[in-house]
Amino acid sequence: MALFLLGRRGFQRAMTAIRPYCSSVASGKKPVNGVDLYYEQTGRGKHAVLLLPGALGSTKTDFGPQLKSLAKERFTVVGWDPRGYGQSCPPDRDFPPDFFERDAKDAVDLMKTLGFGKFSLLGWSDGGITALVAAARNPDLINKMVVWGANAFVSQQDLKLYNEVRDVSKWSARMRQPMEEVYGVQVFAKLWEAWVDGIAQFVHRPEGSICMELLPLISCPTLIIHGEKDPMVPILHPEYLLKHIKGSRLHLMPEGKHNLHLRHADEFNTLVEDFLEE
């Protein structure tokens, strides 16, 4: 649900490279759970942080300001492309009923493969849902968690919003172009429809649950951020997370939309840094 709201940069296809932001970013692939997962890593701090992108998202398209500007001396920041997204192709992406559980296991196992024993999670949209699952399933590994644009269930209202953006040919060319550069015109259209079908399947579960039953298992300090102008995630979703994740807190950004970490990157980064260092 993240991608159609973004302005995106061009997609680079180098599998292994060192590229400068404010400091160098190392990138490559690691074999994890039978697939080669692409990742980027920057910073030299003791506090490891994993960035989890939104639907069809990738490190480059979703987290440029965070890789660039989160404090390198305090944090080691890792971004990744979930299986079937971005540069973690092959395999082709699919959306079985457990795709959030699969992504959560991939994310945690990638961090283990990279040598991190404990780390924090920053999850946006679908990546926020993945973070919720990962934190619930791995309480001993997760230090802290920040989620925004995430939901633990799918309502009929949500389903209506998803179906309204199903047909990418109705999007503006500006909105389509970045994803078409990543996946190609036809693949992007089919993949987006597949995602809509994938997220819609949860509406048939009791209460539309994606991970409602897992929220009480989350024990790490959790910051929920919500943009009050988010057109895709109604306020009831962050309020539900706040109520059901023990000790969590909610921060509202009055001018924030779904991609608040990109539109208001400085404010977002400062908020996250302060929370992670508490």
The helix/strand/coil state of 202 is helix
Please indicate whether residue 58 is annotated as part of the active site. no
pLDDT tens column, 269-278: 999 999 999 9
Residues in the chain with pLDDT values less than 70:
1-23
DSSP E strand stretches across the chain? 17-20, 24-32, 35-43, 47-52, 75-81, 119-124, 142-148, 222-227, 249-253
CATH topology of domain 26-153+208-277: Rossmann fold (3.40.50)
List the one residue out of 129, 145, 139 whose CA is nearest residue 208. Answer: 129
Please indicate whether residue 125 is annotated as part of the active site. yes
- Give the separation between CA 40 and CA 24, rounded to whole angstroms: 10
- Of the residues 47, 226, 258, 261, only one is catalytic, namely 258
The helix/strand/coil state of 278 is coil
- Of the residues 47, 158, 230, 261, only one is catalytic, namely 230
Note the helical H segments in 208-258.
Answer: 236-244
- Of the residues 27, 88, 125, 248, only one is catalytic, namely 125
For position 23, what pLDDT does the model report?
55
Q: What is the CA radius of gyration of the chain?
A: 17
What predicted TM-score, i.e. pTM, was given to this entire model? Answer: 0.92
End-to-end CA distance of the chain: 31
For position 256, what pLDDT does the model report?
97
CA angle in degrees (0–180, nearest 5) for 41-276-23: 30
For position 67, what pLDDT does the model report?
93
